[in-house]
Amino acid sequence: MRTAVGIIGAGPAGLLLARLLHLAGIDSVVLESRDRAYVEHRQRAGILEQGTVDALRAAGAGARMDREGLRHDGIELRFAGRRHRVDFSGLAGGRSVMVYAQTEVCKDLIALQTKEGGPLLFEAEALAVEGADTDRPRIRFRHAGREDVLECDYAVGCDGFRGVARDAFPAALTRTFERTYPYAWLGILVDVAPSHDELVYARHDRGFALLSMRSPHVSRLYLQVPAGTEAHEWRDDDIWAELERRIETTDGRRLERGPITQKSVTPMRSYVHEPLRYGRLLLAGDAAHIVPPTGAKGLNLAVGDVVTLARALTHEQETGSARLLDAYSATCLRRVWQAERFSYDMTTLLHRAPDATAFEDRLQLARLERIASSRAAETDLAEAYTGFPFD
């Protein structure tokens, strides 16, 4: 097989990149190791920054999002029995976020790709990227029981943290930065209307809690739990009791309960791989960086990467200049590190470490008090949460 751009991974990064290249008249082939049903149903992120919403609309993938997504103009912080709303619209120049699950983004982009775009091969397992430092990189893959090779002008690894694309980078040229946190998130999906019309981030001495949603009828709720926790270790009644404790406020607001349809545990990690380019191999999304979910940045960073990459590839096709491609890694990493900083700040602000001291507890509360009392501190949070510029 031969194409201009070989894309490994049909998550939101790979699918959106294929869509943007199609609109620019650049051929691509997408290889995805899982089947279509798995990709369209795996639960992941659900908060889209303003820039991500704009990018999906520009790609022609925003119609259902605009019908079914839930625009949010703020979040609520809860701490020490208090409630404080951060007004995104008023603090960040009218910017907002959209609650629209990654599963739905993937469904929309898959529908467009299969209808209008280039080949999208499910159950096509990438085995290796070869010749990244040549003019003709190759992706070896297995599909329909046999091995094949995809030759391309550029190979793009959108294949996640455990993918094969990153393995093609020489160790001598690679630097990695990583932090593993001593806690995780126990997440549940619940068939009940959300208890609050915006996301609620709660800091409590017993640990963090988050009230989120997937739709007007489905809630997504999270509890901080120790790293290594298994979802089955928590009984439904214990989850509800712990959520009630951690989100409690002095005004007596109650949590809406319903049947729990899914439980999962999400580990907490920060990770960055530098650089994002080696020869004609480029990384995007989780293949290049991981953030803890507290800042709602993972999916949005992936979109920022591929918008930047699609612009660079289009520029090369139209002008013959590789200037933007040569700057791809540095351009993306500026945004990545700001997102890493924000995600780390939000995580350490709201989660209680297992060995936290009374001094550290007081510092957390002081940081939250600063946000609640300072427009400058609130603005910094609102600008970061609604998204850093893509270029």
Q: Which residues are tagged catalytic?
A: 72, 201, 293, 297, 385
- Look up residue 12 and give its two tokens: 């939101």
339 close to 297: Cβ distance less than 8 angstroms: yes
Q: Locate all alpha helices (DSSP H) within the chain, ordered by sequence.
A: 12-23, 36-41, 50-58, 63-68, 88-91, 102-116, 236-247, 298-319, 323-326, 328-350, 358-373, 375-386
**Rounded Cα gap, residues 386 and 278, in angstroms:** 31
Q: What is the DSSP letter of 327?
A: T
Q: How many residues does the chain have?
A: 391
CA distances (Å), origin 63, targets 56, 67, 145, 257, 387:
9, 6, 37, 31, 21
- By 3-state DSSP, what share of the chain in percent is helix, strand and coil, each rounded to 5? 40, 30, 30
Other CB atoms within a 10 A radius of the CB of residue 159 amount to: 28
Pick the closest to residue 382 from 99, 101, 79, 94 (CA basis): 94
Cα 261 from Cα 258, distance rounded (Å): 9
| Secondary structure E strands in 233-296 | 260-274, 277-278, 281-283, 289-290
Residue 30 bridge partners (DSSP)? 7, 120
CB of 17 within 8 A of CB of 65? no
Instruction: Tell me the three state secondary structure of residue 255.
Output: coil
Query: Taking the mean position of all CA atoms in its chain, how far away is CA 12?
Result: 9
Q: Give bridge partners of residue 257 from the DSSP assignment.
A: none
